Chains A and B, each alone.
Chain A
């Protein structure tokens, strides 16, 4: 076969696998379809962060703040909290725009900072957003504080309610299965946007800034606005993912947007291969699924061996994140599926 044809055959195979996946998973239980939904959300998040970290080389440790902004935007505009019930397609752009605004708010004052300082400031920003969400229940109750917001509307498009089970052509589509296809469509759109961005004038400008900012400026790139654009775009993807998260879960609280989550998304990007879209997708899928697999194997295994659970799966999950970050940096600094440029950059010695 010609290489081009082989690629298309591969794409078709992956597409077919992705389409039947929820039905295969639902044989093992609806819980697994839900896990697949969450994994897709993480892929969305990781792709958004990849724009900032992978393309533009700006380490953002507070990325989950944008996810939170999107989620709270959705929750406040479609829940009993304020009695607002705007439709899905109206909220998602609002959430994305709001998150982009926050991205610019964070980016504008911090753009001249060097790499690791920027990382710390973004981390602080993420914490500030979380502390505000936790405390904005007084004096006017906006976020309901640590209690969180419940009763968030599910996605409704046309006559389809995504929280209910429907039958179509003799097949049963449960709520999570429908969300799966919605997320898959969203993911496809975002992957296409990402690929197109990477090969665009903007994408090349990001790469130039990442490699050498001073040289990039000398070549006539407006580094400030290009970096701001990276922040805004990355944030808006986070906002979209956050909105979907709120709709799927039906409940959100500040606990979902802690620092560890930011670190987790960074781990996905780093593990997969910063700047390389297939790598990032792989990293996100691995880090989203493996802990769940552990949850289903480690606990019964421990029960069988010791009669009780000695090590919680959550701890194992975190230890895996930690070791993944350290070991990848030590042995495969460019990630599992590195981008060609990154590989060169991370293996050369100063």
Chain B
């Protein structure tokens, strides 16, 4: 039971971060039906910029909260700028092209960003300096760290903020109108290009914060960290129903929990000795014969993704869309 609650807590923490990144995917997909492959790299750039600033300030003796805040404050505009440039230069010219063209471009952009980051920060891992004191709280037999609480709290605050932005402001209305029908939105006086650029930039700001959070959580950042994180977040967006904002939040949290619980229990569940099937010599004296251990953790996101797409292609909260010619 303790392990269950602990994995649930860990899963919710990571899931909240997945949800924030997934929002970036889902908003862009909702508006221009593009899988923005480069979004994971934007998360990575956010983490790298923030870590550089944080490491530079760590020795100054400022309160840790201020240091992390300064790092995030530097990361957000950089990520916004990167996302804007990518949208303007690589995606906008292809707006009218067949679907595969922007997707392939997005893959190219992702490779470029990743290796430019490698040129800037080298292959080395950036470590998070030991400035945040470890605070832990007991909860139903599990431990929650202060960082985890902060991440979850911040994620929910950002999700609320985004929901308010999308459903309560003029820009949000324009975004939803563009997602429904760009041509008609344009006729109604919406500057479609600006709305699309704004969508990319908002997603990038969220991605920057997510990058800082995931980096702080694991304590490291590296130029390769964006690809797997991006894929998982995309899986989360699809799980919730791509293009659907509450869906991305739900999908992210759900995927985080599935992954954590899966990694926590798959070893036990696939231990053949439990079922009396394992070879005698390795099962003797309470031994184990584990088919799949927790090193298969990364598989869960992809398996979930494939299962969702096969059995409920529109995701949990998404509506069915017909084929568009």
Contacts and interface: CB of A to CB of B under 8 A. Distances in A.
Contacts of B35: 116, 119-120
Contact of A117 (B97, B298, B302, B309): B309
A110 B313 CA distance: 10
A329 B102 contact: yes
Contact of A119 (B90, B103, B282, B293): B103
B94 A329 contact: yes
A139 B290 contact: yes
Contact of A128 (B103, B282, B302): B302
Contacts of A117: 238, 309, 313
Contact of B105 (A123, A125, A330, A349): A330
B164 interface: no
A109 interface: yes
Interface stretch (A165-173, A179-187, A245-253, A313-321): A313-321
Contacts of B298: 127, 131
Contact of B115 (A57, A115, A121, A318): A318
A329 B119 CA distance: 25
Contact of A319 (B115, B235, B282, B302): B115
A61 B231 CA distance: 13
B227 interface: yes
A255 interface: no
A310 to B, nearest CB: 9
B96 A350 contact: yes
B115 A124 contact: no
A275 to B, nearest CB: 12
Contacts of A116: 33-35, 99-100, 103
B67 to A, nearest CB: 31
A112 interface: yes
A315 B119 contact: yes
A263 B115 CA distance: 14
A240 interface: no
Taking each of B104, B118, B323, B325, which has the highest tally of chain A beta carbons within 10 Å of its own beta carbon?
Answer: B104
Interface residues of B, number: 52
Contacts of A325: 104-105, 107-108, 111
A135 interface: yes
Interface in B70-96: 90, 93-94, 96
Interface string B32-70: 011100000000000000000000000000000000000
A333 B97 contact: yes
B22 interface: no
A109 B111 CA distance: 29
B305 A120 contact: yes
Contact of B100 (A115, A128, A131): A115
Interface in A120-153: 120-121, 123-125, 127-128, 131-132, 134-135, 138-139
B317 interface: no
Contact of B108 (A61, A131, A311, A329): A329
Contact of A311 (B99, B119, B310): B119
A322 B112 contact: yes
A321 B108 contact: yes
B98 interface: yes
Contacts of A346: 97-98, 101
25 contacts: A115-B99, A116-B33, A116-B34, A116-B103, A117-B309, A117-B313, A120-B35, A120-B231, A121-B309, A124-B231, A135-B292, A138-B290, A139-B282, A139-B290, A212-B325, A214-B325, A322-B108, A324-B108, A325-B105, A325-B107, A325-B111, A326-B108, A329-B94, A329-B105, A330-B105
Interface of B: 33-35, 90, 93-94, 96-105, 107-112, 114-116, 118-119, 227, 231, 234-235, 238, 282, 289-293, 295-296, 298-299, 301-303, 305-306, 309-310, 313, 323, 325
Interface of A: 57, 59, 61, 109-110, 112-117, 119-121, 123-125, 127-128, 131-132, 134-135, 138-139, 212-214, 259-260, 263, 266-267, 270, 311, 315, 318-319, 321-326, 329-330, 333, 345-346, 349-350
